[in-house]
Amino acid sequence: MGRVPRFECLFCELCCYFEDPVEMPTVFPKEKRLLEELAEERGVSLEFEPLLVFRDGEGRCAVALYRWVIRGFCPFFDRGTRRCTIHGSKPLACRMYPLLLEVNTGRLMVSGKCEWVRRMGRRLIERLNAQPQLIPRVFPAEFDAARAAFLEAASALEYAEKHGLKRVDSVEGCSEVYDFDDYVTRFG
């Protein structure tokens, strides 16, 4: 297979600054709740939008994934040290970066915006596209996070299919809205 580089974050602050909604982190309900607790302790407010929503036959909705809406720098980013101040608690989307996961399909991609990836040059991306089995060697910890996110999303999708929940675009018109895990606990 030949030698492959191993990812080393350059702590360049690029990936903790957001403008485009599609680049904002996606978080599972339990991650959202943890972030809200941490934000409360620090006196900051956070904003989330439902992203992956299912509706049951009674009109109740369950949110399996949220977009964490961050405008500018993440409130947990310390610009002085260029470090995440909640490193041990940060969501899977942050842990997997520069890997990007399309939860619906399980497709894994490497972000060309990451400074380390850019410095490695186009050939690395081309090689990983041709040999995706190398991704865990280049990004071992990030791959583990992406796998955990994939399993979490797959389990929600499987539950929804098994219980006849329909995917909807938003929570508009829902009679009640629950976090997905809460919905499962309440309604089995």
Alpha carbons 158 and 150: distance in angstroms, whole number:
12
9 binds ligand SF4 (CB under 6 A): yes
Given 76, 139, 180, 183, the residue binding ligand SF4 (CB under 6 A): 76
Q: At what angle do helices 180-187 and 29-42 cross, to 10 degrees?
A: 120
Grouping H, G, I as helix, E, B as strand and the rest as coil, residue 111 is coil
Number of residues in contact with ligand SF4, rule: CB under 6 A?
20
Residue ranges in 102-131 that form contacts with ligand SF4 under rule CB under 6 A: 114-116
Kindly state the smallest distance separating residue 113's Cβ from ligand SF4, in Å.
Answer: 7
Task: Kindly tell me which of 15 and 160 has the beta carbon lying closer to ligand SF4.
Answer: 15
Query: For residues 55 and 166, is the Cβ–Cβ distance under 8 A?
Result: yes
Q: Which stretch binds ligand SF4 (CB under 6 A): 42-50, 76-84, 144-152, 154-162?
A: 76-84
Residues that bind ligand SF4 (CB under 6 A): 9-12, 14-16, 25, 74, 76-77, 84, 86, 90, 94, 97-98, 114-116
